[in-house]
């Protein structure tokens, strides 16, 4: 690990000022960032610890529930307002990581955690995300955990967050603040597909601090589920996951995890289901529509059928 300066910020303004230098990085719970630095995947000259900022509260707001960027994953999952109105978020968080990790992990840090692609973490192997232009070890290598939708020939990594998949199905909005002021980014536009710039995971600019995430009231629900399929029943990332809710208008909404470089909203499946009877046959047809363009590789082609079955299971649970 390279030597770095440590600075604890006392206010949002101070954090943004201290976070401006090119080598600076914000530090949340540290459960991903510190590993990346220990493995020499990332090098930063300065860590700006944001954990003492007053962003650890969840408050009612006009458009919904505003979750502070420093709300711990454990606290968010147990919040009665989340359990009552945004149950899919709670279910997704509780199927991720371990209780110890969830006690440290923050809402902002969770959205920005990086892929678990083995080649990304191994600095002896090529990886366009870690070292642009070096190649992608996974395309012709061991690619069991990799993407089947939205990938490019530069990168087939998946986004690992469970919480982000639940937030995608809600159309959550990420609130950020930087040297140029405040802005809000719909979660649909927050994470990116790899294209030919797989080194850029999100549309957050350097030096911008996530201050919160808005869970919109239009996505409040009583019927919501998160089905996560993984190699072990605990402490493992998703091979495939599906967040499903029935929103206030009665519409089925679906998002997939473990299949793409970003949380994947299943818009084709949603469109297929609109106005149709809720039958197993229609659920399967919706899943077929969503996965029609999926592409598998040597070791992950099984995910295509797995994703279809997981969609059917999630829809059955919420119908």
Ligand X SMILES: Cc1cc2nc3c(=O)[nH]c(=O)nc-3n(C[C@H](O)[C@H](O)[C@H](O)COP(=O)(O)OP(=O)(O)OC[C@H]3O[C@@H](n4cnc5c(N)ncnc54)[C@H](O)[C@@H]3O)c2cc1C
Enumerate binding residues for ligand SF4 (CB under 6 A).
115, 117, 119-120, 127-129, 136-138, 155-157, 198
Sign of CA dihedral 80, 84, 90, 91: positive
Nearer to ligand SF4, 85 or 129 (CB): 129
Q: Pick from ligand SF4, ligand X, none: which does 28 bind, CB < 5 to 8 A by kind?
A: ligand X
Among 7, 29, 198, 224, binds ligand X (CB under 6 A): 29
Q: Pick from ligand X, ligand SF4, none: which does 105 bind, CB < 5 to 8 A by kind?
A: ligand X
**Closest distance of CB 148 from ligand SF4, Å:** 12
Among 7, 16, 18, 28, binds ligand X (CB under 6 A): 28
Q: Does 90 bind ligand X (CB under 6 A)?
A: no
Q: How far apart are CA 102 and CA 136, in angstroms?
A: 31
Q: Which residues have CB under 8 Å from 277's CB, separation 6+?
A: none
Q: Pick from ligand SF4, ligand X, none: which does 112 bind, CB < 5 to 8 A by kind?
A: ligand X
Nearer to ligand SF4, 17 or 299 (CB): 299
Count the residues in the chain: 319
Residue showing the smallest CB distance to ligand X in the complex: 109
Torsion of CA 98, 207, 165, 214, to 10 degrees: 100
Q: Which of 274, 245, 311, 242 is nearest to 85 (CA)?
A: 245
Q: Does 240 bind ligand X (CB under 6 A)?
A: no
Q: Provide the strand spans (E) within the chain.
A: 5-8, 24-27, 46-49, 58-61, 64-68, 173-178, 181-186, 209-216, 223-229, 240-246, 252-257, 264-265
Q: Pick from ligand X, ligand SF4, none: which does 108 bind, CB < 5 to 8 A by kind?
A: ligand X
Q: Pick from ligand X, ligand SF4, none: which does 71 bind, CB < 5 to 8 A by kind?
A: none
Applying CB under 6 A, the span of 26-34, 131-139, 141-149, 296-304 interacting with ligand X comes to 26-34
Nearer to ligand SF4, 126 or 216 (CB): 126
How many Cβ atoms sit within 10 Å of the Cβ of residue 203? 13
Q: Pick from ligand X, ligand SF4, none: which does 209 bind, CB < 5 to 8 A by kind?
A: ligand X
Q: Pick from ligand X, ligand SF4, none: which does 72 bind, CB < 5 to 8 A by kind?
A: none
Q: Which residues have CB under 8 Å from 93's CB, separation 6+?
A: 73, 74, 76, 77, 102, 162, 163, 166
Apex 201 CA angle, 117 and 196, nearest 5? 85
Q: How far apart are CA 266 and CA 243, in angstroms?
A: 10
Determine the straight-line distance between the first and last CA of the chain, rounded to whole angstroms.
50
Q: Does 30 bind ligand X (CB under 6 A)?
A: yes
Applying CB under 6 A, the span of 6-14, 25-33, 186-194, 288-296 interacting with ligand X comes to 25-33
Beta bridge partners of 47: 6, 25
Among 96, 150, 194, 258, binds ligand X (CB under 6 A): 96
Q: Does 224 bind ligand X (CB under 6 A)?
A: no
Q: Does 115 bind ligand X (CB under 6 A)?
A: no
Among 26, 86, 120, 272, binds ligand X (CB under 6 A): 26
Beta bridge partners of 65: 60, 215
Residue 205 per-residue DSSP state: P
Residue numbers of the site for ligand X (CB under 6 A)? Answer: 25-33, 50, 69, 96-97, 101, 104-106, 108-110, 112-113, 160-163, 209-210, 237
């Amino acid at each position: 690990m390279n030597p770095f300066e440590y600075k604890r910020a006392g206010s949002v303004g101070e954090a943004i000022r201290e976070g401006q230098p090119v080598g600076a990085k914000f530090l949340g719970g540290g459960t991903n960032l510190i590993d990346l630095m220990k493995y020499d995947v990332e090098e930063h000259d300065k860590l700006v610890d944001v954990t003492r900022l007053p962003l650890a509260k969840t408050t009612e707001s006009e458009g919904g529930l505003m979750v502070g960027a420093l709300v711990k994953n454990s606290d968010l999952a147990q919040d009665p307002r989340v359990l009552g109105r945004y149950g899919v978020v709670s279910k997704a968080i509780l199927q991720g990581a371990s209780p110890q990790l969830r006690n440290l992990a923050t809402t902002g840090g969770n959205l920005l955690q990086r892929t678990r692609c083995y080649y990304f973490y191994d600095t002896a192997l090529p990886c366009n995300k870690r070292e642009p232009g070096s190649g992608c070890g996974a395309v012709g290598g061991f690619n069991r955990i990799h993407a089947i939708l939205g990938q490019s020939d530069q990168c087939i990594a998946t986004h690992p967050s469970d919480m982000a998949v639940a937030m995608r199905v809600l159309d959550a909005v990420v609130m950020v603040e930087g040297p140029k002021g405040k802005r809000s980014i719909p979660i649909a536009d927050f994470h990116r597909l790899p294209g030919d710039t797989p080194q850029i995971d999100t549309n957050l600019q350097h030096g911008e601090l996530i201050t919160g995430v808005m869970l919109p009231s239009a996505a409040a629900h009583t019927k919501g589920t998160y089905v996560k399929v993984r190699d072990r029943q605990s402490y493992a990332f998703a091979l495939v996951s599906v967040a499903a809710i029935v929103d206030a208008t009665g519409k089925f909404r679906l998002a997939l995890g473990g299949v793409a470089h970003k949380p994947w909203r299943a818009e084709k499946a949603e469109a297929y289901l609109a106005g149709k009877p809720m039958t197993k046959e229609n659920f399967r047809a919706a899943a077929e529509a969503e996965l029609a363009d999926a592409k598998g590789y040597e070791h992950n082609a099984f995910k295509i059928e797995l994703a279809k079955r997981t969609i059917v299971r999630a829809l059955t649970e919420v119908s």
